[in-house]
Structure 1
Amino acid sequence: DSSVLLSFKNSVEDPSKTLSSWNISDNFCQHWNGVACTTKGRVSVLELEHLTLPGSLLVSTINALPFLLELSVLGSNFTDAMNSSEHACSLEMIKLSSNQNMTFTSSFDAMLGCQGLKVLNLSNNQIDGKIEVPIGNALEVLDVSHNLFSGEVPLFLSSQCKRLRYLDLSHNHLTGELPVDLLKNCTNLQQISLAYNSFHGTSFPSIHSLPSLEFLDASFNNFTGPVPAIHENLKHLNLSSNSFNTTRENLCPSLNSSRLESLILVNNKLTGRVLDSVLNCSSLKMLDLSFNLLAGEIPSTICKQVPKLEHFLAWVNNLEGQLPPNLASCSNLTKIILTFNNLSGNIPPELLSNTKSLQWLSLSNNRLSGEFPDSLEHAKEMLVLQLSNNSLQGKLPSNMTVQTINLRGNSLSGRIPASLNEMESRLTAKSGGCKCSISFLPASFYGFSASSPSFIDVSFNKLVGGIPRELGSMQDASYISLAHNFLSGTIPVELGDLKNIIGMDLSFNGLQGSIPGSFSSLQSLTGLNVSHNNLSGPIPQGGQLATLDASSYAGNAGLCGFPLASC
């Protein structure tokens, strides 16, 4: 077997030197990278990566290794097609993933249906055409994701999947309606991914009869009709970005028997009181119903019936009523995002003082009113607070240390607390620099990246007094907006120490004096707005300030110098 492998090595290009350990002087079973042997010293496992090789050479090498059971070729470039293999039907695992120019002849296709094959992974190869290769009855893992396959799912799947545990057809161009009984014989299936295709229709493969199924992802398709019935053993369900329009009265089969931990139904056409239908899902940790047409109030018993809830997301819906105070009894809650709804009333103080693990609270663009909650100072784990565009009143707490804060468009009064400068030290000490980003939040959703290291927006309020000089110690700050308030005094020279600041908006206030010369050293600055104040004197020159236009300084009669008139 060693001579076969050495001949193979000499016939391929190996730019990454992955075969450099293949030397005739070493024991190939013990020292050759990517090679494993049987107890009798015959090659049983061959793992290749980052090569340039003819497909025909690979097949001839397989033929010359009669005890080979597992073949893996990753990240390689094929220079011709793979043809038939006399020996390949003894293989138990074939993994050909993330390759370029990989094509098969019809005779090689037949090899993929060998009766002894247990694992077939053809992911991420840009293979096109239809899935026409029949699978063997022994197959346990089938992964053809991230290719260019088109057409419908072959019906032979339903009759030859008795041992199949893992099925991934995601990220292709597959179409058509899926028969309800497509998976009826696949009783050992544990994971299914149909995501990012073009499946459609009201029929959906029955999953209620799959007792072993734990994970199902059918997101980004065109399914319609009701959300399918859930088997009690299912743990993760993602049906986002379809057109499902209704749910059953009880989405989970029975209280306390459901194992469902993650339910993601983002961007469908669900209407009405869908939240009521999930109350039987007692094991839920992740619930995301965002971008639907949900109505009604948040059930007051949600934490009693779903006590393990950690992530509660239902933004861009039509939820109304008040936030139930006992939402704070979900002791594991770390994230609440209910932005763009019609919620009203006060923010329950218990939500901030009793929910010890809460890190992200977003209630922007609702109809919330009342006093800004003083209990925020008790939310020691809070990193992101988004309450913009409501009708909150009162003063900001003096001890407020969150990483990202957006309070834009309220009626807050009083002074800006100097404690905001503690955002950075708290971030470093408690979260190791966590940026707390969420993959499905648009970068510009809040007018700036919601994942910025430190983000402060308290614009469009009624804040008074001066800008705390302590803000200049926030070395990780990326965006600060204090615009449209009643701030007075001078711009602290310490703001010129914000080395990572990208955007700063101090416009429409009553600031006086000059623009600090230290602003010319802000190398990351791409946007500065100090317009409509009472500033005077020469504009600092150099650095990023040279890229700004006159609108950044408008409405300050005493300012002069580029890009305004000369002094």
Structure 2
Amino acid sequence: CCRWEGVECSNTTSHVVALRLSFLQLIVGNASISISNSSTALLDLHHLEILNLTYNDFGGNRIPEFIGSMKQLQHLRLKFCNFSGTIPLQLGNLTNLRTLDLTRNNLRSENLDWLSHLSLLSRLDLSYSNLSDTNWMRHILKLPSLEELSLSHSNIPDVLVTSSVDDDLFVNSLSVINLSENNLTSDAIYSLFRPDHLTKLYLRGNKLKRLPPFSEFYKLEVLDVGFNSLEGTITEANLTKLHSLKTFFLSYNPLTIRISPGWTPPFQLDSISLASSNMGPHFPTWIQTQSRVTLLDLSCNNISGEVPKWFWSLSPTLKNLNLSHNHLSGNLPHSIPSIFIDLSFNNFSGPIPLLHPNTMHFQLSQNMFSGSISSICTTVPMDLEFLDLSSNQLAGKLPNCWKNKSYLNFLILAENSFSGGIPRTLGYLSSLQVLNLRNNNLSG
């Protein structure tokens, strides 16, 4: 069996030490996959250190208690396995465990006492479990080796006091924290954070009001605190020590961002999401220094005026661009080489740009673009899925070249001045879900 795919044996003893059996359905088809307390095959693997059954469907059954008898296990991964019921307390017997990943199942736990026995555990992911009745923080604090913690979408209750937090406990080693989408309101969770270790912080989708003290987190690479109720003002003083920052998400908070025009950041970001962050009215000039960005969202910021010319050649890697719902004006460049483009609800004018071959989502609605769209016949990408040019001042005939655009799902050309007949090749759009041509001068 040591030659079987997904099975690893020791070079010295030939004992099976690892089972990596993800996506078994893709290997055995729709045959049922069973693991229960009556199973004995796994129990015979006394030297097993790694058990990875991720992305298999176990039909809503419980995690079998006998897994707690496999005391040599160091890594247990049961992600996306369609397990349900209570997390078995027997997992607390796995005292050699370094990784425990139970995310994306239908699990619950009312008592996390069993975690206190896992002193070697460095990575814990119980996301998408129901932990609403647990005193999760007290139990997490008993894990001296924990480096990565993910409890997103797990209904964890608020931590109301910080008196139980001991500086000598695991919080000194925690580098990755994900508590997203839990409706947390108390900033007592900030007691978990240590600036000399924290590299990734995910708190999006809660109801936090006070900004986390991230200005001192000089090792921070990812900061995602979007979709909260964070208040206050962020200036360059909050960012000057974040030399390692790569992902910066603050979108949809009632805060204010005020960065001096001449400031040069100490970081190079690859993802910037600052939607609805009260940045206007001036276009943020510090963005000019970010030459590696792949995602940029500055929507809903009351930014006005023309987009600086340097912006359109900002980054050759920019794939996702959203400047919608501002007051931006002027003409667009000849072409924008991004996959996702949303410039809707602005005051842009002139002709629409040529579509780049890589573009899949192109949204220019609610602007003042004019002229024809005849160039679409030569520039619409084969993989284009979404095209919205509605509520502009476009005119002329609709091009009759839609026959090979089989991926197009949304075509919205309403509220313009198009005239003539409706092109017959629109009937070839086999994937089309929405076609809106209303309020034009079309016939047929």
Give the shorter-chain TM-score range. Answer: 0.7 to 0.9
Cα offset, 1:377, TM superposition: 3.5
The answer to whether 1:206 aligns with 2:139 is: yes
The answer to whether 1:505 aligns with 2:388 is: yes
- The DSSP-based 3-state class of the residue aligned with 1:368 is coil
AA aligned to 1:502 is E
* 1:68-111 per-position Cα deviation (integer Å, ceiling 9, x unaligned): 6669695899xxxxxxxxxxxxxxxxxxxx994546786949x9
The answer to whether 1:526 aligns with 2:400 is: no
Cα offset, 1:553, TM superposition: 2.7
Determine if contact 1:394/1:411 at 8 Å carries over to the other structure: yes
Aligned to 2:175: 261
Aligned to 2:326: 410
Match of 1:555 among 431, 439, 442: 439
Query: CA distance change for structure 1 residues 184 and 320 in 2, over 3 Å: closer, same or farther?
Result: closer
AA aligned to 1:556 is N
Query: CA distance change for structure 1 residues 545 and 235 in 2, over 3 Å: closer, same or farther?
Result: same
TM-score, normalized by length of structure 2? 0.77
Aligned to 1:93: none
For residues 138 and 332 of structure 1, what CA distance do their matches in structure 2 show? 39
The answer to whether 1:475 aligns with 2:357 is: yes
Cα offset, 1:526, TM superposition: 2.8
TM-score, normalized by length of structure 1? 0.62
Q: Give runs of aligned pairs for residues 285-324 of structure 1, distance below 5 A.
A: 285-297=199-211, 299=213, 302-303=214-215, 305-324=216-235
* Aligned-residue RMSD, C-alpha: 4.3
- The DSSP-based 3-state class of the residue aligned with 1:307 is coil
For residues 150 and 553 of structure 1, what CA distance do their matches in structure 2 show? 50
- The DSSP-based 3-state class of the residue aligned with 1:367 is coil
For residues 183 and 85 of structure 2, what CA distance do their matches in structure 1 show? 27
AA aligned to 1:244 is P
Q: Give runs of aligned pairs for residues 62-73 of structure 1, distance below 5 A.
A: none
AA aligned to 1:460 is F
Determine if contact 1:150/1:172 at 8 Å carries over to the other structure: no
Determine if contact 1:286/1:312 at 8 Å carries over to the other structure: yes
* 1:93-147 per-position Cα deviation (integer Å, ceiling 9, x unaligned): xxxxx994546786949x9399x65547484583946744485595344748337
- The DSSP-based 3-state class of the residue aligned with 1:480 is strand
Determine if contact 1:411/1:462 at 8 Å carries over to the other structure: yes
Aligned to 2:243: 331
Residue segments in structure 2 that go unaligned for 5+ positions in a row: 25-29
For residues 263 and 359 of structure 1, what CA distance do their matches in structure 2 show? 20
Match of 1:187 among 108, 116, 119: 119
Query: CA distance change for structure 1 residues 456 and 164 in 2, over 3 Å: closer, same or farther?
Result: closer
Q: Give runs of aligned pairs for residues 339-378 of structure 1, distance below 5 A.
A: 339-344=251-256, 346=258, 349=261, 353-354=264-265, 356-378=267-289
Residue segments in structure 1 that go unaligned for 5+ positions in a row: 6-16, 20-32, 46-67, 78-97, 214-233, 425-453
* 1:141-188 per-position Cα deviation (integer Å, ceiling 9, x unaligned): 474833747456346x65x555555555666665442254x3444434
* 1:291-344 per-position Cα deviation (integer Å, ceiling 9, x unaligned): 111113465xx33x1012111111111112333223443222221122221123
Determine if contact 1:501/1:525 at 8 Å carries over to the other structure: yes
Determine if contact 2:102/2:125 at 8 Å carries over to the other structure: yes
For residues 8 and 73 of structure 2, what CA distance do their matches in structure 1 show? 23
The answer to whether 1:383 aligns with 2:294 is: yes
* 1:451-476 per-position Cα deviation (integer Å, ceiling 9, x unaligned): xxx111111111222223xx23x101
For residues 136 and 545 of structure 1, what CA distance do their matches in structure 2 show? 60
Count of residue pairs the alignment pairs up: 422
Aligned to 2:88: 153
Q: Give runs of aligned pairs for residues 487-506 of structure 1, distance below 5 A.
A: 487-494=369-376, 496-499=378-381, 500-506=383-389
- The DSSP-based 3-state class of the residue aligned with 2:172 is coil
Cα offset, 1:289, TM superposition: 0.5
Task: Identify the structure with the greater strand proportion.
Answer: 1
The answer to whether 1:139 aligns with 2:72 is: yes
The answer to whether 1:465 aligns with 2:350 is: yes
Match of 2:148 among 236, 244, 247: 236
- The DSSP-based 3-state class of the residue aligned with 1:491 is coil
Aligned to 2:27: none
Q: Which has the higher contact order (CA 8 A, sep 6+)?
A: 2
For residues 194 and 551 of structure 1, what CA distance do their matches in structure 2 show? 42
For residues 345 and 302 of structure 2, what CA distance do their matches in structure 1 show? 11
The answer to whether 1:281 aligns with 2:192 is: no
- The DSSP-based 3-state class of the residue aligned with 1:294 is coil
- The DSSP-based 3-state class of the residue aligned with 2:287 is helix
For residues 236 and 189 of structure 2, what CA distance do their matches in structure 1 show? 17
Query: CA distance change for structure 1 residues 165 and 555 in 2, over 3 Å: closer, same or farther?
Result: closer
AA aligned to 2:250 is L
Query: CA distance change for structure 1 residues 265 and 316 in 2, over 3 Å: closer, same or farther?
Result: same
For residues 206 and 23 of structure 2, what CA distance do their matches in structure 1 show? 43
AA aligned to 2:110 is E
- The DSSP-based 3-state class of the residue aligned with 1:477 is coil
For residues 144 and 194 of structure 1, what CA distance do their matches in structure 2 show? 11
Q: Give runs of aligned pairs for residues 79-94 of structure 1, distance below 5 A.
A: none
Query: CA distance change for structure 1 residues 194 and 511 in 2, over 3 Å: closer, same or farther?
Result: closer
Aligned to 1:393: 304
